[in-house]
Amino acid sequence: MAASMARVCRYFLRHKSCVPLTTSFALKCKFHCSISARTGLIQGLYKRGIVKESFPDDAAHERLPALLQSGAQTVYCGFDPTADSLHVGNLLALIGLLHFRSAGHHVLVVLGGATAQIGDPSGKTSEREQLCADVVEANTRRIRESIYRIFTNHELNFHDGSKTPGTVTVLNNLSWYKDWNVVKFLSEAGRHLRMGTMLSRHSVQSRLRSSEGMSLTEFTYQAFQAYDFHHLNQIYGCKIQLGGTDQLGNLMSGHDFIHKVSSEEVYGLTLPLVTSSTGDKLGKTAGNAVWLDRDRTSPFELYQFFLRQPDASVEGYLKLFTFLPLAEVERLMEQQRADPAKRLAHKRLAAEVTKLVHGKEGLGSAKRCTNTLYHSSVQALEEMSDLELQELFREAPFHELLLEPGTTVIDACRLVKAIPEGPKGYRMVSEGAVWLNHERTDKPEQVLIPKLHILANGLTLVRVGKKNFYIIKWLSL
């Protein structure tokens, strides 16, 4: 079963451009997990710190566990495509969905093609810049690809093959709003929402007290999110919504809306906001986002982000961002305390997250880049692809040059403008200020030697001083 599921994942990844935004990406299962597999799911999420609050208040302790044990349920989380990539601040929500899916429950990922054009005021001090429909659509496509990749990586690398996962369906909420007009929406949905309740939300109150105030457009956001939950409840039987702690007001609006319209009992679960070591929220607004798209943040950069976390954060992050059993997390922390210099917990955290986001291939790339940059490994440098080189040395000029017979060290340096023309550049080489492939060179007139100056992959990495890199790809080898 696991092998066949993997084939399905690979098929969709190869043909994802053929799937319209409004259609579902469903990984179907033939059998439900046993009830025992679902027992204690909410309790486990609380222990890991993934669930912070529940709504209604008694849901997590009484009705919701019983509901989850009664059979496969449907849970959803939404993401507004206001950029062309999700970021680490969003990753915890995806991990929450993955835990539900592993337990046999069905997952809906809703991309806000409609709501991204409105703007969520939650946690914002000013109104979001308006996005045109074309930009939102392009962002939606890119984010959908990332979600496919992460769910596929989880199934291939982390899911217990003895258990059958639930389905995954990716939707765009523009599909159920595109034929509506404002009169119809206010007539059908607006009458079930109360102004007093909406005005009392923290996200609204904080903006109303600000100097900029709050636009009518932003104020209606919670109405659209509430209707999203209602729509998913009616069409997919969805009874559980996940969201960050700053989304609690929107989750409550959805609960109230559904309760008034259909009397269905639904639940909201909030996840903690991921913050930096200084307490700042990680995300687009804060300007410190670590992205999940390789074009924005390379596997190496993602790996290094988690590797560099403060010691005090590592245990919590292992529980939040990995699927390691809690007993294994505790063993890792004991090993770390016994020999902190080895940083075993940091390395495991970085490896697990990178493998989830970018797969085994991405983790291998991150380790090659790490060995090249921090351990001066010529072997790792020789194994690197052109893409990895450009990711690792993002600011370094990349040159593709024809190798002429008799090309010398100083010729190569001058061709890429790594050194000044004339005697000054010559002195820099002769005085040992230039390194080729991690080896210091002090012979300007030396002809480039294969396997020393030019690696088997046709690469020469030039470094001048400590931080100035230049990449040469020789084309005639």
Average pLDDT over residues 175-183: 88
Tokens of 293: 């798209």
Average pLDDT over residues 362-380: 91
pLDDT digits (tens, 9 = 90+) for 284-335: 554 568 999 999 999 999 999 999 999 999 999 999 999 999 999 999 999 9
Average pLDDT over residues 97-101: 97
Task: Give the helix ranges, DSSP H, for 297-435.
Answer: 299-307, 311-321, 326-338, 344-374, 378-383, 386-392, 409-415, 423-430
Which pLDDT does position 8 carry in this prediction? 43
Residue burial 378-414, b: 16+ Cβ < 10 Å; e: rest: bebbbbbeeebbebbbeebeebebebeeebbbbebbb
Binned at pLDDT 50, 70 and 90, residue 237 comes out as very high
Which pLDDT does position 70 carry in this prediction? 93
**What is the spatial distance between Cα 387 and Cα 56, in angstroms, rounded to a whole number?**
49
Which pLDDT does position 280 carry in this prediction? 62
Which pLDDT does position 431 carry in this prediction? 95
Which pLDDT does position 243 carry in this prediction? 94
pTM of the model: 0.82
Which pLDDT does position 32 carry in this prediction? 35
Which pLDDT does position 436 carry in this prediction? 95
pLDDT digits (tens, 9 = 90+) for 134-150: 999 999 999 999 999 99
Which pLDDT does position 239 carry in this prediction? 96
| Lowest-confidence segment of 278-282, 298-302, 355-359, 404-408 by average pLDDT | 278-282
**What is the spatial distance between Cα 28 and Cα 475, in angstroms, rounded to a whole number?**
47
**What is the spatial distance between Cα 402 and Cα 420, in angstroms, rounded to a whole number?**
21
Average pLDDT over residues 177-196: 81
Place of tokens 């309790």: 43
| Residue 343, Ramachandran bin (φ over 0: left; ψ between -120 and 50: alpha; else beta) | left
**What is the spatial distance between Cα 307 and Cα 290, in angstroms, rounded to a whole number?**
13
Task: For residue 232, give the amino acid letter.
Answer: L
53-55 β-sheet, strand order: 53-55, 267-271, 240-244, 74-79, 106-111, 168-172
Average pLDDT over residues 446-450: 93
Binned at pLDDT 50, 70 and 90, residue 279 comes out as low
Tokens of 76: 């959803």
Give the CA distances from residue 274 to residues 88, 221, 286, in Å, rounded to whole numbers and listed in that order.
8, 23, 12
Place of tokens 């809906």: 108
Give 280's DSSP letter. P
Q: Tell whether the model's pLDDT for residue 351 goes beyond 80.
A: yes
Per DSSP (E only), the strands in 12-98 are 53-55, 74-79
Task: Please count the other Cβ atoms lying within 10 Å of the Cβ belonging to residue 30.
Answer: 6
pLDDT digits (tens, 9 = 90+) for 16-27: 433 333 334 444
Binned at pLDDT 50, 70 and 90, residue 276 comes out as low
Which pLDDT does position 477 carry in this prediction? 52
Average pLDDT over residues 181-192: 81
Tokens of 6: 């993997």
Which pLDDT does position 120 carry in this prediction? 75
Task: For residue 369, give the amino acid letter.
Answer: C
Which pLDDT does position 473 carry in this prediction? 92
Q: Tell whether the model's pLDDT for residue 7 goes beyond 50.
A: no
Which pLDDT does position 250 carry in this prediction? 83
Binned at pLDDT 50, 70 and 90, residue 200 comes out as confident
Would you say 257 and 230 are in contact if contact means Cβ atoms under 8 Å apart?
A: yes
Which pLDDT does position 263 carry in this prediction? 87
Tokens of 392: 């690792």
Tokens of 67: 């509901």
In 3D space, the residue among 120, 128, 94, 62 whose CA is nearest the CA of residue 253 turns out to be: 120
**What is the spatial distance between Cα 238 and Cα 235, in angstroms, rounded to a whole number?**
8
Binned at pLDDT 50, 70 and 90, residue 29 comes out as very low
Which pLDDT does position 315 carry in this prediction? 96
pLDDT digits (tens, 9 = 90+) for 41-68: 999 999 999 999 888 877 767 889 999 9
**What is the spatial distance between Cα 44 and Cα 47, in angstroms, rounded to a whole number?**
5
pLDDT digits (tens, 9 = 90+) for 105-119: 999 999 999 999 888
Which pLDDT does position 129 carry in this prediction? 77
Which pLDDT does position 37 carry in this prediction? 42
468-474 β-sheet, strand order: 398-401, 468-474, 459-464, 434-436, 439-441
Average pLDDT, the chain: 86
Q: How far is Cα of residue 19 from the mean position of the Cα atoms in its chain?
A: 22
109, 112, 115, 118: CA torsion to nearest 10: 140
pLDDT digits (tens, 9 = 90+) for 400-434: 999 999 999 999 999 999 999 999 999 999 999 99
Which pLDDT does position 14 carry in this prediction? 41
- The residue ranking higher by pLDDT, 282 or 135, is 135
**What is the spatial distance between Cα 436 and Cα 454, in angstroms, rounded to a whole number?**
9
Which pLDDT does position 283 carry in this prediction? 56
Give the CA distances from residue 52 to residues 92, 93, 107, in Å, rounded to whole numbers and listed in that order.
12, 12, 20
Q: Which helix (H) or strand (E) holds 14?
A: helix 2-14
Tokens of 140: 């939606």
Would you say 314 and 351 are in contact if contact means Cβ atoms under 8 Å apart?
A: no
Q: Tell whether the model's pLDDT for residue 198 goes beyond 80.
A: no
The separation between the first and the last C-alpha atoms of the chain, rounded to the nearest angstrom, is 46
The percentage of the chain sitting over the pLDDT mark of 90, rounded to a whole number, equals 59
Q: Tell whether the model's pLDDT for residue 10 goes beyond 60.
A: no
